[in-house]
Amino acid sequence: MNRQNAELKLKQIFGFDGFFDDQWTTIDKIFNNKRVLLIQKTGFGKSLTFQFPATQFDGLTIIFSPLIALMRDQIKFLNQNNIKAGLINSEQTDDENNITIQNAINNQLKILYIAPERQENSLWQEAVLKMKISFVVIDEAHCISSWGHDFRPAFRRIINLMQVLPSNIPVLATTATATTDVAQDIQNQISGDIELIRGDLLRENLKLDVIHTENEEDKMAWIARYLKKVNGNGVVYTGTRVSAEILSKWCENEKLNTIYYHAGLDSDSRKIVEKEWMVNKFKAIISTNALGMGIDKPDIRFIIHTQITQSPIHYYQEIGRAGRDGKTAEIFLLFNPKDIDLPLSFINNARPSQQKYQKVIDALKQEPLGERNLIKATNLTQAQIRAIKADLLDQKIIRQVLYNGLKKYEYQYNAPQLDITTFENLRNYRLKEFDKMVEYTNTDKCKMLYLCNYLGDNNSRSCGVCDSCLNEKNKFSMDENDKEKIKQFQNNFFPVLGVGSKKSKQHNNKKYQVKFIGAKFEGRIDNLKITKEIYQQLNHDDKKIVDGLIQKTKKESKLIDGIASSYYGFSNVGKTIYKCKYENGKDYPDFLLKQTLIAFGKTFKSQKFDLVLFVPPTESGKLVENFATKIANTLKLPIFSIIKTRETKQQKIFQNKALKTQNIKDVFDINIDITDESILLIDDIFDSGATITEIGKMLTKRGAKVIVPLVIAKTVGGDIAK
Amino acid sequence: MQNDLVYWLLLSHLSRWTTLKTNELIVQIIHNQKITLADFFDLSCDEWIETYKLTDKEIGDLEAAKKELANYSFLMENMLNQGYELITLNSDDYPQVLKDNLKLKFAPPLIYTKGNKSLLHDDTIAIVGSRKAHDMSLKWTKNIAINATKKYQCVVSGGAKGVDQTALNESIQAHGHSILVLPQGILTASSLMKKYYKHIVDGDLLILSAFYPKAGWSVGLAMARNKYIYGLSKKIYVAESAKKGGTWSGVLEGLKNQREIYVRNPDNNEKNANNLLISKGGKAVDMDGFLIKTNIIPIQENKQMSMQL
């Protein structure tokens, strides 16, 4: 097909007048059954380079993509243009996926989007044999390379596929972020002739700036000021979940409409936040890099990083989401020299110790195990297991095999020894990349050009609008006013313990949720809060479901969300607790008592309590008892102990929730009558919440009216080292 | 090479082609024309007719198969990813004994394995017998299996109830080498993989199938599999046979092909066809597998004598 004819068809099907040159070059190669690696910046129009050919092929085009949200958007667009497209991923129900598969088999789909993890699904493996496949696309192809910044093991399997696919089936791999090394790695892995087409990466509408600060408080002050004056909505990226939460609360304190977001939120909450952010409900969404690829908002007017990223690629990718509508967007990196500690520790501790690898290998030598059972057998965290298994799979020491539809890992006969030199090499490579990122913060070279060059684009020129091009070097220090406000805030902000009993149900595509908040229940239908008026007006079915959920919630637990006085990792709270608990055995000092009472007072001043209970210790003596007694005395409430009916091991040795829950199941009891009593439940540390949730259930059974947890410190994943 | 592998997959499971036809075509392509299967599939119909003398029907079958290429690629990637190996007729890994015994007529062009494939080059024996074998037969099977392991021989078994199972289990227990020949596709045998996991991992057991990977168990495949057991073995030991059935026909077939077959010498009161098999050429052995002189004169010797007369 020549370009003219193609552009006629393009106009017919998509309504566009023509192709960009690079788009046509790519499409032409695809029609000639070639394999292409296309590296182009965001906004180039990569989608068309595979969507158009897909409409012209006889059979099905399969698109591997990790970006669920983008998949949905693209499919909407395609269906609107009468091109039948479908998708298969974990967010669809099994039924939906099955229908899509059937359609693909019956040649009723032109384009099928699929998440790479699906390759492990037996249903997919059966089905794909029956499909007529004309073209394969790999989106975000940099995920193939372990040298890249976002390596995903599932993408490795795409490589295996590429190696066995007959060479006359065209393949298109696309990405915006691949350095020369990574591009080379991808080319090496996708065997056969693969041509590289690379465009320039200059994003003209992005205005890059580095703001030098001296501490975290400076950053907080700067952000509040900036958000108050900037037009439009944007993203603030933080290094940790805790900082995302704290920063968002600080902004709220400054009367700014922000929300926090991270992987610790349950998926329902995440969906709500994503939806509301897309419609500009918030000035800024403050998030870890969990707010990732695939949130395709065209009008992000600013992106602020409070934490330096691990490499210029990560940075380019994260800021690349700004200004997709072409209008100016401001990009800031707030940098304090101490910030290098966090990324360095990530890089240096990226992998678990060798012994942990051996644990996994030894377990799998005995029997094939799925992920959950592997976690149980080795007592490692899910994160550790995932990192280890990715490496073992990569080195072909283990394989993932389907046993009657269940995924299990097998140790291979004659497997090679674990090769840690690649880990060392990778670590050194990452350290070099990080050096380059630190260099960015200080460079006088055009910042945009610095990033483009790093990513292998040597064709762009200076942007003219970054701080380097404008000859500025921006510093910021907070003033006394800022200092005062921040201090006030830090003394009054308390982390929530989200253990309140809640139940949800999906029915007829509606989502019902009920949460016990103390005196009553709070309900939502499709995230719309059910007030008294709304409840009266509900139809019969809806009422029935809501009432049913209320009964279930009531029955299960009368535990409501509690409060901690601080995050474990904040200031010297964690260190103090650790010393008392595991070193000198002294009672918790007064300052912890004071801040806990303040947190309690501010949060539960309107709640009446009848008594105080405290969580019995496994080992740390009378620390919690003494602490709780002091609180009970201050509040003039009677205090009793919760009893343990059997010995348990310390929760902290169990690295994952499954084992922690198992450790304490049915362990707790009480020997007083607590019918209809409102209870303040005290412990020192809140980690997974398993203990408090279990106690909540038991107290509910014994007749409690409401149970409120109060602790000194809340951890946020991995705070308490083994 | 891996690109060629998918064509082997395609070619090996054409539904209307006999093994002989497939193997002959493969020989033509690889030996005579000296091109890869991938190249062969790229040729035009004219070349297929001219050089390979293919009929219209055969060409139709190949064209239809070509359309399945991408799908077979997914299947193959899936198998390789799970650690299965695909061994082609022309590979160094392919056991010579299988070629020698089955020849082009029956040697499977593609075999699927999991585990230590070097077992394919071991000194192999098979121990066969009825599913409903008696205790004596099972005891004998145990002895033969254990002796085999002592001699570093590899026991080939179908894993079926009775003699097969006993042979396999005894060999495994004695830390010997074994090959389990499946009566179904290799992807359909998860429970066996699980059961024998440790032995596979340790390199003592090789799982093997010559059938389409997703083919479920069927009587037909179970019968067909028997010739692969015979094909993989240098010697056959028969524990017990009835006068009809799988074991009976297998032994007769083997004797016809002049295989080395040892039959357990039965006690006088046993009601089975062992003696009959001995008379047809099976070598009688005692409870420990040693040759014994019997009162039965093999039929061939009779013929010779009568010819001399």
Position A261 in a domain: yes
Interface test with B, best of A128, A413, A414 (most B CBs within 10 A): A413
**Is residue A596 scored above 80 in pLDDT?**
yes
Do A442 and A297 fall into the same domain? yes
- For the stretch A172-188, pLDDT in tens is 999 988 888 888 888 88
Do the chains contact at A119 and B71, CB–CB below 8 Å?
no
Q: A194 and A107 share a domain?
A: yes
CB A292 within 8 Å of CB A66: no
CATH of the domain at A370: 1.10.10.10
Query: Residues of B at the A interface (Cβ-Cβ below 8 Å)?
Result: 2-3, 5-6, 38, 42, 67-78, 80-83, 115-116, 190-191, 193-194, 197-198, 200-203, 214
Mean pLDDT over each residue of chain B, to the nearest integer: 91
DSSP letters spanning A62-84: EEE-S-HHHHHHHHHHHHHTT--
Cα–Cα separations (whole angstroms), residue B293 to B144, B279, B296: 19, 12, 8
CATH number at residue A675: 3.40.50.2020
- How many whole angstroms separate alpha carbon A391 and alpha carbon A548? 47
Chain B contact for A32 (CB, 8 A cutoff): no
Nearest residue of B to residue A366 by CA position? B198
Mutate which: B43, B114, B197, vs A, most A CBs within 10 A: B197
Question: Considering the domain boundaries, does residue A327 fall inside one?
Answer: yes
**Residue A68, phi-psi category: left (phi > 0), alpha (psi -120 to 50), beta (remainder):** alpha
Expressed as residue numbers, the domain containing A395 is 353-423
- The alpha carbon of residue B191 is apart from the nearest alpha carbon of chain A, in Å, by 7
Measured in angstroms, the CA of A272 and the nearest CA of chain B are apart by: 37
Q: How many CB pairs under 8 A join A and B?
A: 95
Give the total number of structural domains in chain A.
5
Domain end position, chosen among A198, A220, A237: A198
Nearest to B81 among A132, A157, A167 (CB): A157
- Fold classification of B114-285 (topology level): Rossmann fold (3.40.50)
Rounded to two decimals, the pTM is 0.71
pLDDT at A620: 66
Residues A154 and A113 in one domain: yes
What is the tens place of the pLDDT at every residue in A51-93?
A: 999 999 999 999 998 877 677 778 888 988 889 999 988 777 8
Contact between B72 and A366 using a beta-carbon 8 Å cutoff? no
| Phi then psi dihedrals of residue A188, to 5 deg | -65, -40
- Tens of pLDDT, residue by residue over B153-212, are 999 999 999 999 999 999 999 999 999 999 999 999 999 999 999 999 999 999 999 999
Nearest-CA distance B75 → chain A (Å): 7
Residues A170 and A299 in one domain: no
Per domain, the residue ranges of chain B are: 2-81, 114-285
Q: Which residues of B touch A165 (CB under 8 A)?
A: 70, 73
CB contact under 8 A, A165 and B198: no
When scoring A60, A114, A164, A393 by the number of chain B Cβ atoms within 10 A, the one with the most, hence best to mutate, is: A164
Q: Does A132 touch chain B (CB under 8 A)?
A: yes
Would A719 be classed as within a structural domain?
A: no
A184 lies in the same domain as A324: no
Residue A133 lies in a domain: yes
Residues A415 and A440 in one domain: no
Q: Are B12 and B76 in contact (CB under 8 A)?
A: no
Compare CB distances from A403 to B70, B193, B202 and report the shortest one's residue: B193
CA-to-CA distance for B21 and B14, rounded, in angstroms? 10
Helix (H, G, I), strand (E, B) or coil at A716: coil
Helices (H), chain B: 2-12, 19-27, 37-42, 45-52, 56-67, 69-81, 96-106, 135-150, 163-173, 190-195, 197-202, 219-232, 246-256, 274-279, 299-308
Q: How far apart are CA B62 and CA B40, in angstroms?
A: 11
Contact status of A236 with chain B (Cβ, < 8 Å): no
Ramachandran angles phi, psi of B63, nearest 5°:
-65, -45
Query: A406 and A361, same structural domain?
Result: yes
Chain B residues touching residue A407 (CB < 8 angstroms): none
| Pairing of the two strands A133-138 and A171-175 | parallel
> What are the strands, taking DSSP E only, across A359-440?
398-403, 406-411
Q: In 3D, which of A645, A712, A298 has the Cα closest to residue A497?
A: A712
Those residues with Cβ within 8 angstroms of residue A533's Cβ, 6 or more apart along the chain or in another chain:
none
Rounded to two decimals, the ipTM of the complex is 0.85
- 3-state class percentages of chain B: helix first, strand second, coil last, to nearest 5: 55, 15, 30
CA distance B292 to A488: 101
**Pairwise CB contact (< 8 Å): B203 & A365:** no
Residue type, A188: N
Span B270-279, pLDDT tens digits: 889 999 999 9
Q: Retrieve residue A602's tokens.
A: 């501010």
Residue whose C-alpha is closest to residue A216's, from A336, A315, A345: A336
* Residue closest to B77 by CA, chosen among A102, A461, A157, A560: A157
Same domain, A316 and A441: yes
d(Cα A295, Cα A641) in Å, to the nearest integer? 49
- Shared domain for A510 and A531, answered yes or no, is yes
Which of B67, B190, B198 faces A403 most closely, judged by CB atoms? B190
CA atoms A195, A200, A205, A208: torsion sign: positive
- Asked whether residue A605 falls in the same domain as residue A691, the answer is yes
Q: Which residue among A161, A366, A413 places its CB closest to the CB of B74?
A: A161
**B263: helix, strand or coil:** strand
Q: What is the pLDDT of residues A406-458, one digit of tens each?
A: 889 999 999 999 998 888 888 999 999 999 999 999 999 999 999 999 988 88
**A621 and A706 inside one domain:** yes
| Percent of chain A whose pLDDT exceeds 70 | 97
CATH number at residue A283: 3.40.50.300
* CB-based contact A401 B198, cutoff 8 Å: no
- A228 found inside a domain: yes
For residue range B126-155, list pLDDT tens digits in order: 999 988 899 999 999 999 999 999 999 999
Shared-domain flag, residues A394 and A438: no
